Each structure stands twice: as C-alpha cells, then as structure tokens.
Structure 1
Amino acid sequence: MDLTEATWTDVQELETDLAVLPVGSTEQHGPHAPLGTDVLTARAVADAGVDRFDRAVVRAPAIPVGIAAEHRQFSGTMWVSPETFRSYVRESIESLAHHGFDRVVIVNGHGGNVDALREVGTTLSRDGDAYAVPFTWFEAVGTHSSRMGHGGPLETALLRHCEPDLVREDRIEAARDGAADGWGEWVSRANLAYDSAEFTENGVVGDPGDGTASLGDELLERAGKALARLLEAVAERDLSRPDER
C-alpha cells in the first residue's frame, strides 16, 4: 500500500507491521541523467521488492534530499547536514512505528547516505522504537556492484529501463567524454578528494553508454529479489534484544 495514494481509513484496516521507506538524493548525475536519479531508482527498487513479496507492506513517501554536499559545485544539487538527515529519517520511521509499522526497510539509492542510515537503524533498534534496516540497491546486484560509479552504467541502465524519457540520449557521448574512471583521488589507500568536482569534469564516473536498458532490467530483477528476501527476514526476525552477558 502506497501511503501517498491511500486514505487513513485504508491504512487503518491494513494488517501488517512492515514498511519500506525509499530514500535518495537530489543531486547532479552528469549532463544526461536527472537530478532525481537516486530517488527514482530507490522507488523503482522498492516497488520491485514489494511486488515480489507475498505479504502486505506499507510504502512510505520517498525522502528526496540527502547527504550530498560533495556535489555542491554542480547546479541544482540539494543537501542537508548529516545531523538533519539522520533526524528526519529517524522521526519519519518513528511516525510509521506510531501506527504499528515498526519493522522498516530503508531502500536507499545514494552512497552518501549509507553511513547515516546505518546509524539511524542502530539507534532505533537499540532504543526499541522500531526495527530499521538500510538496504542500498546497488550493493545488492552481484558482480555489477563494482561498476557503480556515478551517473555511470548502473544508474543509467536502471533509468533507461524504468524512466527512459528522462535520459538525455543526445548527451551520452558528452557524459562519457567528461567522465572520470573512478571515484576520488587515491594515494596510499586514502582519498585526497572531498568533492566530486575535484576529479570529474562533468560529474560522471564511469561510462553511461554501457548502461543499456536490458542491463537495467537485470539490475531491477536482482535488486528486487534481494529486497524481497530482506523483507522476509525482517518480517520473521525475533526483535527481542540479547541478554546481558
């Protein structure tokens, strides 16, 4: 059930304690992909996972702004502080838990959110307000995960499959030409760069031309199946805390 489209009486009659919360970012993804890429892909994967799960699940509205100051040199990028982000996500989940949806999978589409979401899940689960587990879709697509980049083959592929009209196909070559091969500037296993503009001319990392619609179909299938397995595990998990050792 999508909370955006449901009435409160619809929700009142729903028998489940399980919810998904898509989380993304509004940030540059090169000249060819929309600023909302991370939100769009998180929503698509959330839907795919819920569709493959045989129990009722609440889908909360997506959170569209995340931790993205590393892209601030590119027009249109929005961001909030890690503290604000953690508070907003935590309180959003607490409001779900207030209505009985206290098992929550956070479906994430932005790498910059990963650490903060793990902290949120830890805090909520230890305090007993809710059990929340973050799931980042591009970490759950097998060997493809190593090709993630930024506005590169994976995100472009999923967009071409799910939102083809939003991909500026006439800019793919320019996106490729200005792209970096990898994320950051690494010396002695340390990243010297803090902002993406330090190492990529147009914000792209990886070759978006390799991101075909057929690859996007495969990515959505893999991520959707992985999310469905996680939903099953969260639904069945014993949430009692371990005893003092």
Structure 2
Amino acid sequence: MDLRAATWTDVRDLETNLAVVPVGSTEQHGPHAPLGTDVLTAEAVADAALERTDREVVRAPAIPVGVAEEHRQFPGTMWVSPETFRRYVRESVESLAHHGFDRVVIVNGHGGNVDALREVGGRLTRSGEAYAVPFTWFEAVGDHGADMGHGGPLETSLLWHCAPDLVDEDGLEAASEGAADGWGEWTSGANLAYDSAEFSENGVVGDPTDGDERRGTELLELASDALGRLLEAVAERDVTRPEPR
C-alpha cells in the first residue's frame, strides 16, 4: 500500500508490520541525467519488488535529499549534513513503527547515504524501536556492480528503462567525453579528493553510453528480486536481541 494514496482508515485496517522507505538524493548526475536520478531509481526498485511479492507491504514516501555535499560545485545539487539525514530517516522510521510497521527496509539509491543508513539501522534495531535494514540497489546486481560510477552506465541504463523521457540524449556525448574513469584520486590507499569536481569535469564517473534500456531491464529484475528476498528475510527474522555473553 502506498501511504501517499491511502486514507488513515485504509492504514488502520492493514494486517502487516512490514514497510519500505525509498531514499535517494537530489544531486548532479552529469549533463544527461536528472538531479533526481537516485530517488527515481530507488523508487523504481522498491515498486518493482512490491509488485512481485505476495506480502502486504507499506510503501512510505521517498526521502529525496541525502548526504551529497561532495557534488556542491554543480548547480541544483541539494544536501543535508549526515547528522540531519540520520535523524530524519530515524524519526521517519520511528513514526512508521508507532503505527505498528516496525520491520522496515530502507531502499537506497545514493552511495553517499550508505554509511549513515547502516548507522541508523543499527541504532533503531538495538533500541528496540524497529528492525530496520538498509538496501542499496546497485550493491545487489551481481557482476554489473563493478561498473557502478556516477551517472555512468548502470544509473543511465536503469533510467532508460524506468524514465526514458528524463535521459537527455543530446547530453550523452558530452557526458561520456568529460567523465572520469573512477571515483576519486587515490594514493597509498587514501582518497585525496573530497568533492567530485576535483576529478570529474562534468560530474560523471564511468561511460554512460555503455548503458541501454536492455541492461536497465536486467538491472531492475536483479535488484527487485534481491529486494524481494530481503523483504521475506526481514518479515520472517527473529529480531530478539542476543543476551549478554
């Protein structure tokens, strides 16, 4: 059930404790992909998984702004501090738990959110307020994951499948020519760069022209299947905390 389209009486009558919360970012994705790429892809994966499951699951509204200050040199990018983001996500999940939806999968589409979401999940779970598990879609697509960049072939492929009208074909060539090969500038195992503009002319990492709609279809199937399996595991898990040893 999509909370945005439900009435409170609809929600009152549900017989489930399972929810998903899509989380993304509003940030640059090069000259060819929209600022909302991370939200759009997280929502697409969440919705596809819910279509495949027989379980009743509450689908919360997406959280559209995340930890993204590393893209601040590119106009349109929005961000909040990690502290603000963690608190917002935590309190959003707590509000779901208040109504009985205390098993929550946070479906993430932005790499900058990963560490914060793991911390939020741990805090909620250890406190007993909710059992919360973060899921990042591009970490669940098998060998494709090696091609994950930023505005690169994976995200562009998924956009081709889910929102083709939002891919600017005229910007693809420029995106490809100005893209970095990898994320950051590394020496002795340390990343010298803090902002993406330090190593990518146009904010892109990876060649988006290596993506296409067919690959996007496969990515959505892989990610939504993986999320479906996770939803089953979260629904069935014994979440009693271990006793002190």
Give the shorter-chain TM-score range.
over 0.9
Residue of structure 1 equivalent to 2:234: 234
AA aligned to 1:53 is: T
AA aligned to 1:93 is: V
Report matched runs for 1:1-245 at 5 Å: 1-245=1-245
Unaligned runs of 5+ in 2: none
Cα distance, 1:189 vs. partner?
Answer: 1.2
Cα distance, 1:244 vs. partner?
Answer: 1.1
AA aligned to 1:150 is: H
AA aligned to 1:102 is: D
AA aligned to 1:192 is: L
- SS of the residue corresponding to residue 134 of structure 1 reads strand
Return the alpha-carbon distance in structure 2 between the equivalents of residues 226 and 174 of structure 1: 34
Return the alpha-carbon distance in structure 2 between the equivalents of residues 3 and 210 of structure 1: 36
TM, length-normalised to structure 1: 0.99
Return the alpha-carbon distance in structure 1 between the equivalents of residues 59 and 22 of structure 2: 8
Deviations 1:113-137 (A, max 9, x none): 0000000000000000000000000
Return the alpha-carbon distance in structure 2 between the equivalents of residues 111 and 175 of structure 1: 20
Deviations 1:21-74 (A, max 9, x none): 000000000000000000000000001111121110000000000000000000
Return the alpha-carbon distance in structure 1 between the equivalents of residues 8 and 244 of structure 2: 41
- SS of the residue corresponding to residue 4 of structure 1 reads helix
Cα RMSD of the aligned pairs, angstroms, is 0.4
- SS of the residue corresponding to residue 46 of structure 2 reads helix
The percentage of counterpart residues that share the same residue type is 79
Deviations 1:170-228 (A, max 9, x none): 11001000000000001111110000000000000000001100000000000000000
User: How many pairs are equivalent?
Assistant: 245
Cα distance, 1:102 vs. partner?
Answer: 0.2
Return the alpha-carbon distance in structure 1 between the equivalents of residues 14 and 129 of structure 2: 20
Return the alpha-carbon distance in structure 2 between the equivalents of residues 192 and 104 of structure 1: 36
Return the alpha-carbon distance in structure 2 between the equivalents of residues 244 and 207 of structure 1: 50
Cα distance, 1:242 vs. partner?
Answer: 0.5
Return the alpha-carbon distance in structure 2 between the equivalents of residues 142 and 233 of structure 1: 19
TM, length-normalised to structure 2: 0.99
Return the alpha-carbon distance in structure 2 between the equivalents of residues 94 and 17 of structure 1: 13
Return the alpha-carbon distance in structure 1 between the equivalents of residues 103 and 132 of structure 2: 6
Cα distance, 1:243 vs. partner?
Answer: 1.0
Return the alpha-carbon distance in structure 2 between the equivalents of residues 211 and 104 of structure 1: 31
Which 4+ stretches in 1 moved above 2 angstroms? none
Deviations 1:142-183 (A, max 9, x none): 000010100000000000000000000111001000000000
Return the alpha-carbon distance in structure 2 between the equivalents of residues 126 and 243 of structure 1: 12
AA aligned to 1:74 is: F
- SS of the residue corresponding to residue 104 of structure 2 reads strand
